[in-house]
Amino acid sequence: MSFGTPYPSHPVILDDVRGAQKMLSGVARVTPLEGSRYLSGLVGAPVHFKCENLQRTGSFKLRGAYVRISGLRPEERAAGVVAASAGNHAQGVALASSLLGVRSTVFMPMGAPLPKVAATREYGADVRLHGQVVDETLAAAQEYAHDTGAVFIHPFDHRDVIAGQGTVGLEILEQCPEVRTIVVGVGGGGLAAGIAVAVKALRPDVKVIGVQAEAAAAYPPSLAAGHPLVVDTSPTMADGIHVGRPGDVPFGIVGELVDEVRTVTEDQLSSALLLCLERAKLVVEPAGASPVAALLARPESFTGPVVAVLSGGNVDPLLMQRILRHGMAAAGRYLSLRLRLADRPGALATLLGVLSVADANVLDVGHVRTDPLLGLTEVEVELHLETKGPEHCAEVAAALRGAGYTVA
């Protein structure tokens, strides 16, 4: 179905994507397609992962950056390129520039994860830290381009970038000719637009479904309005698709060729990342796990075989640790509770004995003795437990109540 956007049709065509594929031969990896037995069972049809998290630089961004920089005129190459990014685009531009012998400057926010900053430098870019948010970083990069003549490499709003990202779609059709649905995360829209151009030209029967984080979902209201809108966004763990306005070029393509754009919650994102790690043994960043989140949320609504594009795997280890805790809580595998004990020797040991019989693993214990609501001989204990899922949580709470404890 078309969203009926009034934007010009086909700024990128299949021949552009095929030309990009030839250009990327020997540069970008043909990333593997891996099956997911668990998701296949939920959907009732084969589900595969397109593992762009295993691409060079850890995401699909190298594809579009390389095609864009390859298309520069000699005098533009001589002036160098500049980009702004918190991570994936930065690394893609840095490596593409190095491979093509072009000088690159990349502006990154002051709070960008250190591993991403280090990787961008190692790929050959001159990294400059500026601003607290990406908008400030973007303004600094554009000012640098104006002052120096360097070519600004946009992360998604250029036809060459979209053509490069579209090569993911060609690979999916080659690797899974029987595919019926492709699910892809959407930020500015470059990857979804490129895949849709390639796939719809060759297989118009294949559905392309985009997925945005609920906290930063600019496409649904923009598509309804018929033009890109700036939306207020909230913090999201899916920083790779945290974009407040669709790109002009991809917007027209998405509106015409993408069948649907859905949203997913933070809980669904963290559960999806946990599933990728535990079941598929794949390290995926939250933005890259957004298609998996959509599959988990409404598995019955997808026609298989399904290919979910895992667009990137660049996740800071500290963030990964927090997300995994969040994901385990969302999956019902953490239980936090409070209860009151008599403040006497052995009371805590008795409580822990009940938990041991219930097979709950104690992660943390906290004591409160100064709350004015507590009795003179009472202490409040806060427990954080690791459990085996929602049913086990209920069993643990029931065991505590059965032992005479009042559980909050």
* Enzyme catalytic residues: 61, 311
Q: Is 349 exposed, middle or buried (0-12, 13-18, 19+ CB in 10 A)?
A: exposed
Backbone angles phi, psi at 363, to 5 degrees: -95, -35
Are 308 and 369 a contacting pair, CB within 8 Å? no
Task: Say which residue the tokens 């095609």 belong to.
Answer: 67
Strand pairing report for 47-51 and 33-35 = antiparallel
